[in-house]
Structure 1
Amino acid sequence: MNQPMTPDEEYDFYARPENQEPQGPGQRRLTATVPVRFPADLLEKIRAAAAADDRSVSAWIRRAVEHELRDSA
Structure 2
Amino acid sequence: MSSEMAPDEEYEFYADPANQEPAGRPRGREARLTSPIPVRFPTDGLAEAKRRADADDRSVSSWIRRAAEHELGRSA
CA distance in 1, matches of 2:32, 2:66: 14
Query: Shift in Å at residue 32 of structure 1?
Result: 1.4
> What 5-or-longer segments of structure 2 have no aligned partner?
1-10, 12-18
Deviation at 1:72, TM superposition (A): 2.7
RMSD of equivalent CA atoms? 2.6
Identity of aligned residues (%): 55
Larger Rg computed on CA atoms: 2
- Runs of 5+ unmatched residues, structure 1: 1-11
Normalising by structure 2, report the TM-score. Answer: 0.61
Q: Which has the higher relative contact order, 1 or 2, with Cα contacts under 8 A spaced 6 or more apart?
A: 1
Structure 1 residue ranges (4+ consecutive) displaced by more than 2 angstroms after TM superposition: none
Aligned residue pair count: 57
